[in-house]
Amino acid sequence: MSPAPGPRSRALGRRAARALVGGVDSPVRSFRSVGGSPVFFARGRGAYLTDVDGRRYLDLVGSWGANLLGNAPPSVVAAVRAAARRGLTFGAPVAGEHELAERIRAAAPEVERLRFVSSGTEAVMSAVRVARGVTGRTKVVKFAGGYHGHSDGLLARAGSGVATHALPDSAGVPPSVVSETLVARYNDVDALAALLERAGPSVAAIVVEPVAGNMGVVPPRPGFLSSVSALARRHGILVIADEVITGFRLRRGTAHRSLGLTADLVTLGKVIGGGMPIGAYGGRRDLMETVAPLGPVYQAGTLSGHPLAMAAGAATLDRLTPSVYRRLERSADRLATTLTGLAERARAVPFTVERVGSMLGLFFAAGPIADDRDADRTDRRRYARFFHATLDRGVYLPPSALETTFVSAAIADRDLARAAPAFRAAFAAAGKGAR
């Protein structure tokens, strides 16, 4: 097979660059971190994607975790088509909104009331606003390496060696905005406790991913999340569980309680939209009823609760049976075992897989990976060579070394067996010189 991308993808990339910023609508799609030109896809079905040059790839990105059931599940496509025939958008209530909300509440009873938005960014931004409105406090704690969307206040990283000082992680973000964000270290309870001893009375909320999924996959250490909850209660701080990635992916419902975290507010996205743009924030009734029109915390969106997203989400959640999660677990375990075994046989390549359910972090570094500093040790050049070697052989991995690899329920043992030779060749390529 010739190297990817093919000539049509390259031509489309040049054309896109004349109209779109960087030729893309989200930076990670640009392939800047792995080099080369992005692949343009024409269609997807089940476990596979097909690009504009007719090349077929095993999909291990799954639209960044949204496509839990695989690409274009027939029942979801049918639900979207039926909704579209009734009308694309009304800017008014539709039954699909509360019907999807009822499905979510049934699976996650701690979400007593919720509000749909159009993205995970909006969901977290809105949950933070609720926490500030309820507590009257201004500061928020996040963890280094955690990504909670591109709202100004959460695009913050730790200052050099100083956990309580944040700096903007993007041009255009005023230092005065991120000064309200305090950055702690994931899996470090002592550092969080010390930070809250100093700043606790000014902190409205701690925002945390139950499983970190934006610095690769970093599992919580035993006791870490329960300690976050206990420290928050001690200081009168609300906990926001960011489950935009983990919600309905690791289990039917939310994952934070099973991992030891007690949350006041929860954010969701990705899976609950079945591949359509969506986000949601919710939690305790008393907190959520401070949101307009019932309370003073304002949030609105013309396309929130979009009928097509509601239909896709409901059709997806209706498919999420225990057997689906067993299949996901089995396939993800097989993938992790295959990769680990091939890496061991490659010998010269340091490699670690961190896995929680159907989420995998692939690190070209010695493990375990416990926080952003460990994740940052991954050899990005090796990953880039690995990525391109798999891409050339029909496997689509995340085009970034610190993104999550996702398994879908459409992936079967035979798909992973077919991919094994590609992985074997990719480890050989990763051990060689620069691409």
Question: Which residues are identified as catalytic?
Answer: 147, 242, 270
Give the torsion through C-alpha atoms of 265, 219, 358, 365, to 10 deg. 140
Spatial contact of 226 and 260, defined as CB atoms under 8 Å apart: yes
Taking the C-alpha atoms of residue 338 and residue 390, their distance in angstroms, rounded to an integer, is 14
Q: Which two tokens stand for residue 386?
A: 């690995």
The number of CA neighbours under 13 Å toward the Cβ of 414 is 3
Q: Which two tokens stand for residue 139?
A: 């500061």
Closest alpha carbon to 337 in 231, 279, 413: 413
Q: Which two tokens stand for residue 351?
A: 């490699």
Burial of 94 (0-12, 13-18, 19+ CB in 10 A): middle
Packed helices 413-430 and 380-392: angle between N→C axes, nearest 10 degrees:
130
Name residue, tokens 């460990």. Answer: 374
- Alpha-carbon distances of 357 from 271, 331, 434, rounded to whole Å: 14, 10, 33
Spatial CB neighbours of 95, under 8 Å, sequence gap ≥ 6: none
Spatial contact of 129 and 300, defined as CB atoms under 8 Å apart: no
Taking the C-alpha atoms of residue 375 and residue 372, their distance in angstroms, rounded to an integer, is 5
Integer-rounded Cα Rg, in Å, for the chain is: 21
Spatial CB neighbours of 62, under 8 Å, sequence gap ≥ 6: 68, 70, 406, 407, 408
Closest alpha carbon to 350 in 374, 376, 379, 386: 379
Spatial contact of 433 and 409, defined as CB atoms under 8 Å apart: no
